[in-house]
Amino acid sequence: MSLKKGRVFSGARPTGRQHLGNYLGAIKNYVALQDEYDCVYCIVDLHALTTLETTLDLRNNTYEMALDWLAAGIRPQESIMFVQSQVPQVTELHTYLSMVTPMGKLTDLPTFKEKVREQPQNVNYGLLGYPVLMAADITLYKSHLVPVGVDQAPHLEFTRETVRSFNYRYNTNVLIEPQMKVTEFPKIIGLDGQQKMSKSLNNHIELASTPEETTQRVMSMVTDPARIRRTDPGNPDVCNVYSMHKVFSSADEVNMVNVECRRAGIGCVDCKKMLARNMNASLAPFRERREEFARNPDGVWDVLHEGAGRARAIAAQTIAEVKAAIGLAE
């Protein structure tokens, strides 16, 4: 019997190498929560099938992402790390949950409307059911806490409502209402200085990129748009380079940038060089660990297969309880 506080679950689509937004918004918490909770982390390849670009290279992207998670500090001896499609019970729970989900709730979700705008040629049934599958992920493992970036808030609220509807409909308390957990950086802005950092917008920095690539990307970051000449004073409050300094630089350096930028004492080029240096220094241990794990690809797949075995045991138990609560034949 575990003495921990409860269970944590999170998932992310296999988009390959993870970026700073994934790390600072979510993975950092995946790692930290292991000390106090039983953690289950899932590479949600079924969710990836809802959009065409994430259906490509699924195996390689799954592997690259697992490498990042391990290098970031997920401890597979304690925590479960697995691939969603290897625990098929989630699709069964998805079906049960879909019966207590009003259509209007799905079509009203801002995340669904955004996808309809982005891919009008591919508004598939799975896309509509995306949040139901996510609710199934979370509830299949009776999770109490879900570490995610703030963009997932509507999905978490949907999950909570679905749990209430299910438990009410079947007069049970078998499903647990989860809480959302964000980091101190719940929404990282991309290199464009405007939109959420994401791979599909190509405004990202990969954790595993080389120091040279990282520096090149940092140098391309958009700064305070009102600061045109080197001699113009800048406003760090509207500059994403400054936001990143707060993550990667020392308190003294952050303070210096804040003061010197406002009086044009430091230019954007020097400011970015300093950021790139600090970012590379901070990512160096991660990159070394990643290279070590990458020397043994079979070991990475073993972690995922073994994780799926442990996940299936929990899933089978929940499904049995759910079927009994609904009153389905044994």
Size of the site for ligand AMP (CB under 6 A): 17
- Taking CB under 6 A as the criterion, the residue among 134, 176, 188, 311 binding ligand AMP is 188
152 near ligand AMP, judged by CB under 6 A: yes
Nearest partner of 70 among 18, 20, 21, judged by Cα: 18
Cross-sheet strand order for the sheet of 7-12: 80-83, 38-43, 7-12, 145-147, 179-181
Residue 309 CB, nearest distance to ligand AMP (Å)? 24
Size of the site for ligand TRP (CB under 6 A): 14
Between 143 and 214, name the residue whose CB sits nearer to ligand TRP: 143
What separation in angstroms does the CA of 247 have from each of 121, 183, 191, 278? 39, 12, 15, 10
14 near ligand AMP, judged by CB under 6 A: no
204 near ligand TRP, judged by CB under 6 A: no
**Would you say 52 and 93 are in contact if contact means Cβ atoms under 8 Å apart?**
no
The pair of structure tokens assigned to 159 is 């999950």
Query: Which of the ranges 9-17, 50-58, 202-210, 222-230 carries the binding residues for ligand TRP, by CB under 6 A?
Result: 9-17
149 near ligand AMP, judged by CB under 6 A: yes
110-118 helix and 130-140 helix, angle to the nearest 10 degrees: 130
197 near ligand TRP, judged by CB under 6 A: no
- Report which residue's Cβ sits closest to ligand TRP: 11
**Binders in 27-86 for ligand TRP, by CB under 6 A:** 44, 47
**Would you say 10 and 42 are in contact if contact means Cβ atoms under 8 Å apart?**
yes
Binding mask 89-128 for ligand TRP (x = CB under 6 A): ----------------------------------------
278 near ligand TRP, judged by CB under 6 A: no
Distance CA 104, CA 127 (A): 14
Distance CA 78, CA 186 (A): 26
200 near ligand AMP, judged by CB under 6 A: no
Half-sphere exposure of 303 (CA within 13 A, CB side): 25
**Binders in 18-47 for ligand AMP, by CB under 6 A:** 21-22, 25-26
10 near ligand TRP, judged by CB under 6 A: yes
Backbone angles phi, psi at 177, to 5 degrees: -80, 115
Distance CA 170, CA 27 (A): 35
Using CB under 6 A, list all residues that contact ligand TRP.
Answer: 9-13, 44, 47, 134, 137-138, 146, 148, 152, 155
Binding site for ligand AMP (CB under 6 A): 12-13, 15, 21-22, 25-26, 148-149, 151-152, 186-188, 196-198
